[in-house]
Amino acid sequence: MFTVFIIGLICAIIGSIVAKNKGRSAVGWFLLCGFLCPLLLVLLALPPLHSKTGERKCPFCAEWIKSEAKVCKHCGRGTSMTSSTE
């Protein structure tokens, strides 16, 4: 009985983390995966909510910006550089 509880808890925690990374409700998926562990697989198969084409995450503030953007509109840092930062 205790083992089942632990497995459910682990599923719930993983589910909430994955859900958060995909821009979904962490609390909702925490409960769903806690009660029904197979839902974790469903969640993993789901595409991220923010996966709009032409957008990517700012490496500094983790906000979503246009992939062509040279400067992040949220934190104002340059995003397209990997070489010239001297």
Contacts of 31 (CB under 8 A, 6+ apart): 12
Select 25 or 67, whichever has its Cβ closest to Zn ion: 67
| Interacting residues with Zn ion between 15 and 74 (CB under 5 A) | 58, 60-61, 72, 74
Angstrom distances, CA of residue 5 to CA of 8, 13, 32, 34? 5, 12, 14, 9
Select 31 or 64, whichever has its Cβ closest to Zn ion: 64
Q: How far is CA 20 from the centre of its chain?
A: 5
Select 10 or 58, whichever has its Cβ closest to Zn ion: 58
Binding site for Zn ion (CB under 5 A): 58, 60-61, 72, 74-75
